[in-house]
Structure formats: C-alpha cells, structure tokens
A and B are shown apart, each in its own frame.
Chain A
Amino acid sequence: MRILNYILLAVFAGLLIYATVHLPARGDADAPMHRQENVVGDPVAGAYFISNAYRDAATPNMVTVVLADYRSVDTLGEVLVVFTAGVCCFLILRRRLYD
C-alpha cells in the first residue's frame, strides 16, 4: 500500500512537470493571457484594466484598483466569507455564561 502511494505520487509529479514544460515562457508577449483580443476578436478585460486603471482611479497600484473598484463585489464576498467564519466560530465555540 505504501509503495502504491509513492508510485501515485511520482505519477502525479511527472504529470505536473510535463504540464509546466509546455507553459508559455515568462514575459512572452504572444501568450494567450497577454493578448489584447481573445480568439473571437473581442477586447479582453485585462488589457482595459492595465491601460485605464490609473486614469479611472488615480491609483498607481492597479491590483488595488481591480480588487476594490472594478471587482469590488467579489471582494465584498471575500469579506463576508471571513465574517461568516467569525460568526460561525462565535455560534459554535463560544462559552455561554449560564449553561
């Protein structure tokens, strides 16, 4: 059983290494994620964020602009996840004074 685990581990490691070999090179301008248009020819959202983040929000850090302005509803969901974790720990774990 132990041998089988190691074999499985080696197979998955080989699979991951095989997948990383075919990734585009770092900084490759022709990589799909760096194109300004997708395969259909529509403009990609990321290119808009990069060119217009400073003009829209006067903030040099475009990650902050994407996080708190363009995709702020997503961030609201993340905050609610943290808040829900706190409330759940409160409801399950906190000791009552009288019980």
Chain B
Amino acid sequence: MPFTCDLGGERHVFADLKAVLAGASPARSGDELAGLATSSATRRVAARWVLADLPLTTFLNEALVPYESDEVTRLILDSHDAAAFAPIAHLTVGGFRDWLLSEADQAALAAIARGVTPEMAAAVSKLMRNQDLIAVAQKIRVVTAFRSTIGLPGRLSTRLQPNHPADDPRGIAAAVLDGLLHGVGDAVIGVNPATDSVPAATTLIRMLDELRGAYAIPTQTCVLTHVTNALTIMERGAPVDLVFQSVAGSEGANAGFGIDLAVLREAHAAALELGRGTVGRNVMYFETGQGSALSANAHHGIDQQTMEARAYAVARAFDPLLVNTVVGFIGPEYLYDGKQIIRAGLEDHFCGKLLGLPMGCDVCYTNHAEADQDDMDSLMTLLTVAGCSFLICVPGSDDVMLSYQSLSNHDALYLRSVMGLRPAPEFEAWLAEAGITAPDGSLRALADGASPFVRQLAENLS
C-alpha cells in the first residue's frame, strides 16, 4: 500500500512500509549502496511525517520480511508479548516517541520491552534526535550476571580485548595484565582468535581460565570463536564461560554467518548445562553491526538500521549476558564518517535497550573510514551519558589482530572519572583487594608498591 505526504507544496509518495522506513532513516552510505536512501533531504522529512502517523500495530500486521520464509520474522511475531504491548498498543510511532520522552519511567520501560518489536524500535528511533536516543536509553536498566553483575546504576563495565596477531598465549596474557592494571575487564575478558582453529581456541580458553582462576578474578572469559566451534570445545570438556556469536537480522544473513536459531539454542543449552556462573546464569555473548545483512545480500530491501534492530530479537531469545554493536568496524561503505558512526552507535544502543538487551558498544573505526579519535571521544562520552552497559577496550586503542581502532584502557579511566562511574561491584571489590585501586576507588600508580596483585605478578613473572 503506498503512503503519501504533502509537504511544502510537493507530494511525496512511498511505495510501501519499507520505503517509508528507509526514507525516514538518517543519511548513511550503506542505504545509498543498497539503493534505498531518499533522493532528497526534504523527502526524508516527508517520510518522517508519514512514519509519525503510523500506528505501532502496523508492524504486527505487516511483516517486512515474509513470515513464511524467514525464521527471524517468525521469532519476532511468535514471541511478541501482547500483554506487555497493551500499554502502548494505542499509540502511533510519533505518539510512542512522545510517550518514551515524557511518561515512560524505568518500570514502564521494563514492562513494555517484550511488547516492542525491532521494527517498532527502529521506526521510533528514526523520529528521535541524538539527545532523544540518549535521554530515553538513560532511563532503561538491563541487569545481567555471570561472575560479575552488568548494568547496575552508577556502573560502567568494560570488555578487555587482548587480541594477538598469532594467538600467542603469552602475548595475550600480557595484554590481559595491562588491562587489569587499568581496572578493565569486568564485563568479560574476550579474545578474538586469529584463526578458525578449534585446538587454538581451546588453548586460549584454558589459558584465560587458569589466569582468571589463579588471581580469583570475578569476571568471565570468552574466546570469540564460531558457535559451532564452541559446541565442539564444550563437548571436549574445556572451561567455556560464555558462548559467542555474531548475529544478524534475517535468516539469510545468519546463514551467511553459518548459523541458525537451532544451533544457537543448542549452544545456549550446552553452556547453561556447564553451570559455571556464580552470581547469574546469562551465558551468551552476541555482537552485531549495521550493514551485516546487506553485506550478506540478505537485507530484503530494508534499510540497515531496521535490519540491525532485528538482530536484537535474535539476541533477546537467548538471555545474553552481553550484546554489543561493533559500530564502526564494517567500514565506510556502510557508515561513511564519524557523524554516521556516532548516530548509528546511539541508535543501536537505544534500540537494544528498548528491546530489553544488556547493550554495550565497540566504539570503533577503521583506517578506510573518514573518522578519527576525536569522533570516538564524542561517541564514548555520549554513550556513557546514555547509560551504556559496557564498552570495549584494547591497549592503546590499537587492535593488532583485527586492524581497527577501538577504545583504550585509558578511555575507560577517563569515562569513569568524569562521569563518576564504577566497575561491576564484584570486580570493584577485587580491584580494591588486589590493590589495583586505592580505597577511594582511584587507580593506584604501579610505582607505589601497595598492590599485592602486582607483587604476586612480579614474582610469577621473574
């Protein structure tokens, strides 16, 4: 069914719901690449007027990706919670935006999460300025736990990402120590392996578990290998804390990752069976990113931000400990510059939180994008104001295996300092016991000699 809008003496016609959503989306290179972007700036505003007047129920009555041929659509519609949706069922997308910014408090937002579909979240985000995305996300709390508790008020957690170009266990351990000494690693110590090798991943899993155990660090470890590898590794009895997988918003895009919902269910059950969590049972870790569906040519003519939100429905089905968008990783053909990366990071965080996910972000960019550290400073600061659950940190911002720039350990110190935020409570207590932090929570200089952790480390290494 076509939609029309008369604006400034011009009639704008949009062929269908997909065209309205794509038209209303802020400018980005991925939608241009897909041939979905609006032809003019005024037409974009017209699409937003159309979108504002659509009832939220539109997205329950009309599947953008056919129900019959896509298991992600089936998951979204079959798991929709009508009772949770009831308080907002009468609203238009525009009315939903107003409700989110005014009446909705923390409890109301938690109550509707399972009643919101990814398409509703994406739609309303397109009517929201950056400050709106921040203001609403900041009201939402999603708390998850394994050995540490993620997402509590006043906390900012971090993933310690100690990647190494040849998966060398000593090199990875050195980067882990560097992160710990900066108070980083309370969300997860997570390595991206350089190869797809099961034995190599198993070696790293055992090494990380021994290191964590030796110093009794209340966090979880993860080697971000393919879910099918994780299944093999668990069968062989290795100490897997979290199962990782990249996920996307359509069955076809997930097939591009070599996965489907069934294999995720199998891995989720296997990890739960291990029962390794001490303060919680969230055992999954997912990464996403705008453009992955288009990259797999499985976007069904839908704009990349809406497809990204659909990936969160996949994540939501498995009660994850952590979900993060790897926002600037995919490159300039999807998010061209710092402005587009910043906007996408805020959209992804907002949509994930609105759907009830423990949302974090890999604030990052590649060397072929028009972006630099100043853009990342802006995004990490905005996300932290928005209440982002966790951020990814690599030593000196330089990922020497994946060849891109994320945040540094120092950036986490800056954010916690200027915003008055603390790590996860279990990890915070460990940092104090280990003497890495002083009684006031500030990071100790290594030179002051007060840290039993550093003394033990020095003995073990000498």
Whether both chains belong to one complex is answered with: no
